[in-house]
Structure 1
Amino acid sequence: MHVVVITKHGGPDVLRVEDRADPSTGAGEVRIGVAAAGVNFADMMARMGLYPDAPKPPCVVGYEVAGTVLELGSGVQGLEHGQRVVAGTQFDGYAEQVVVPAGDVMALPDHLTFEQGAALPVNYATAWAGLIGYGNLQPGERVLLHAAAGGVGIAATQIAKHREAEVYGTASPSKHEAIRAQGVDHPIDYRSAGWERELPPFDLIMDAIGGPSFRTSYDLLRPGGRLVAFGASSLVSGQRRNVLTAARTVLRMPRFNLIRQMSQSKAVIGLNMLSLWKDRETLEPWITPLRGLMDERVLEPVVAGAFPFDRAGEAHTMLQERRNVGKVVLTP
């Protein structure tokens, strides 16, 4: 089978298509023929050498796929050969075939394409965990979503609107119409100096920017507000690792004072889906709640671009340059 390999740390040119043996299926596992694989910011950071959880190169990354069931291991129930499915993968998703535990697989509704399905396991599980599972979003609350035009941003918008929240979202002005169409009530131009000054206090903020953005987000919380920090995209500058930029960003991260937090009644929640996934040994607690929302057509993933494996570098570049509105995927 063909896979996309990070041959070494570096720019998009280090991504190569190589041949690997087909994976074997064990008890309780499912082998899937991949039709689309999701591209996430973590994949790009892994390529640059900025993601400590990633395997060392040469390696195959990728957290989520959509495709058809090729083989069922012994003991697997509720799935059928040839069924359309989506699945979470702890790396190895950039491949024509993957083998995953059955608990990390769910059926893909007929009204969604494979490309849309590849946006579900990570982006929508992250959005649900941040907003509902840990953020405890309530109807009528006010939410700020950073990078509202990205894969998680659009997922979070759809879930927040379903929860009857008032949604503010940051994006460049060229993307404001697109995020309004997804349900953002108040688009914000984050490139405008002092963009945060006239905003109301928020009940919940989703922030994957990191660096000084965490402090800005924390200051925008009202008493009882929750900041969900789930990424640090500001660590990335250019197509290759820049240690100086990364170090500066880390140094500008706020140091939260628990006594002050207690006095202000504000919460900071760190969210890393891979850590949760490893601890629970399954994505099931976060993908199971999505099933009903998919059937109700509440969740409608937006695909910004689909690239064949041999153009994986272009997919990474689109994401790194923030040109996407929605999910970027690879297709074998």
Structure 2
Amino acid sequence: MSAIPSTMFAIEITQPGGPEVLQPCRRAVPEPGPGEVLIKVAAAGINRPDAMQRRGLYPPPPGASDIPGLEVAGQVVAVGGGVKHPTVGENVCALVTGGGYAEYCVAAAPLCLPIPKGFSWAEAAALPEALFTVWANLFEQGGLKAGERVLIHGGSGGIGSTAIQLAREFGAEVFVTAGSVQKCIFCEQLGARAIDYGQQDFVEAIREYTGGQGVDLILDMVGGPYLQRNLECLAPGGRLALIAVQGGPKTEINLLPILLKRLTLAGSTLRPRSLAEKAALASALKSQVWPLLKAGKIKPVIHGAFPLADASETHHLLESGRHIGKLVLENS
């Protein structure tokens, strides 16, 4: 294994703003502390929170790197004190609190997971953020069970496509919204019944498709504009899991459906959670989801992998909404 250099290529946020504020830089290679490992990054996933951080709306938690990037795949090249697993030389993917858009990144050892056999670096890098988010919100907080109906908004993205596959494999009936005929076809190929929200009112569609019964759980990343309509879609005892507010954080709603249908509204974000909480999620994923990955029953959908130096252009693509599946950055 080659020596670890003192500096590395990275992408930094020069000031809050559009994709153009993502610029190449040289940074010191970080050193792993106790309980941490240093990963030579082969690929890093791109996520909506990266764009929020770039715009100054999602600051990194205390102690985290200011370099964007919340998930990586690569080889462990150094370990901090007390780390027994993973070991130097092991290939892993990892959920991180920042620093992914770089040649090297520090990760907490408990949040490193083995790369399933046959997965490319890009596919491995696309696993952590989506899987941690979907498992935490659909299954642990949302309590999704076999035989239930779930509505997933934004079914063609990285989170949505992962949620479709996991919900399908655990026996749920899956409905999604998507923004074009092409995206709807893609979602249906994954096993969902798709609603083109540009052509059809999803509340009316859910009412029709479920015989007026509604769905048991909704995974929503739109927020304010969808809240009242989500309540209308939920069956008695239904749950709403809110994971983002891409459409805005504020709205005015009628509370009566919550009372009359005994609804539960819950929200969460992943990045600020404690290491212990994230480690528990990693353990659950390793036992419940990794066998499905190894068996080829679920797999991340990659729209494209792009050079790390092209992070700015790739963020333009992210915000255009033209992509289907995940966008990934690769180190050459």
TM-score by length of 1: 0.88
Instruction: Show CA shifts across 1:71-125 (max 9, x none).
Output: 1223222323222100111011111101112101111012111101111111111
Greater than 4 Å deviation, 4+ residue runs: 52-55, 254-257
The worse-fitting range, judged by mean Cα deviation, of 278-287 and 6-15 is 278-287
Paired with 2:315 and 2:94, the residues of 1 have a C-alpha distance of 21
Picking from 250, 257, 261, the partner of 2:258 is 261
Aligned length: 314
Instruction: Determine if the alignment matches structure 1 residue 10 to structure 2 residue 17.
Output: yes
1:165 is matched with which residue: 153, 163, 172? 172
Q: Which one-letter code corresponds to 1:32 in the other structure?
A: I
Q: Which runs of structure 2 are paired with 1:180-329 in the superposition (5 Å)? A: 180-184=188-192, 186-200=193-207, 201-234=214-247, 249-252=248-251, 254=252, 257=255, 261-277=258-274, 280=277, 282=279, 284-285=282-283, 287-288=285-286, 289-329=288-328
Which of 125, 137, 156 in structure 2 is aligned with 1:118?
A: 125
1:250 alignment partner, SS class: coil
Cα-Cα RMSD: 2.2
Cα gap change, 1:144/1:284 in structure 2, threshold over 3 Å: closer, same or farther? same
Q: Percent identity?
A: 36
Higher RCO, 1 vs 2 (CA within 8 Å, ≥6 residues apart): 1
Q: Following the alignment from structure 2 to structure 1, what is the Cα–Cα distance between the partners of residues 202 and 278?
A: 41
Distance 1:64 1:213, change over 3 A: same
Deviations 1:237-271 (A, max 9, x none): xxxxxxxxxxxx3342x4574x8624421111102
C-alpha distance in 1, partners of 2:132/2:250? 30
Structure 1 stretch displaced more, 285-294 or 264-273 = 285-294
Q: Which runs of 5+ in 2 are unaligned?
A: 1-7, 208-213
Counterpart residue number, 2:108? 101
Distance 1:287 1:180, change over 3 A: same
Contact 1:207 1:227 in 2 (8 A): yes
Residue 208 of structure 1 deviates from its aligned partner by 0.3
Supply the distance in 1 between the matched residues of 2:284 and 2:97 (Cα, whole angstroms): 15
Kept after mapping to 1: 8 A contact 2:116/2:290: no
- Say if 2:61 and 2:272, in contact at 8 Å, map to a contact too: no
Spell out the pairing of 1:133-172 with structure 2 (5 A cutoff): 133-171=140-178, 172=180
Structure 1 spans left out of the alignment, 5+ residues: 235-248
Instruction: Measure, in 2, the Cα distance between the counterparts of 1:9 and 1:188.
Output: 35
- Counterpart residue identity of residue 307, structure 1: F
Distance 1:102 1:191 in 2: 43
Q: Secondary structure at the match of 2:273?
A: helix
- Per the TM alignment, residue 54 of structure 1 is displaced from its structure 2 partner at its CA by 6.4
Q: Offset at 1:49? A: 2.0
Q: C-alpha distance in 1, partners of 2:76/2:61? A: 26
TM-superposed CA distance for 1:285, in Å, is 4.9
Per the alignment, residue 178 of structure 1 pairs with: 186
User: Match of 1:3, SS?
Assistant: strand
C-alpha distance in 2, partners of 1:139/1:308? 40
Q: Normalising by the residue count of structure 2, what TM-score does the alignment of the two structures yield?
A: 0.88
Contact 1:306 1:330 in 2 (8 A): yes
**Paired residues of 1:46 and 1:54 also in contact (CA < 8 A):** no
**C-alpha separation in 1, matches of 2:52 and 2:309:** 19
Cα distance between partner residues in 2 of 1:250 and 1:110: 41
Contact 2:165 2:191 in 1 (8 A): yes
SS at match of 1:273: coil
Please state whether the residue corresponding to 1:315 is helix, strand or coil. helix
The residue type paired with residue 292 of structure 2 is L
Contact 1:307 1:314 in 2 (8 A): no
Conserved 8 A contact 1:37-1:62: yes
Question: Aligned partners of 2:72 and 2:89: how far apart in 1?
Answer: 15
In 2: Cα distance, 1:233 partner to 1:53 partner: 19
In the alignment, the residues of structure 2 paired with residue 78 and residue 52 of structure 1 have an alpha-carbon distance, to the nearest angstrom, of 30
Q: Secondary structure, in 3 states, of the residue corresponding to 1:20? A: strand
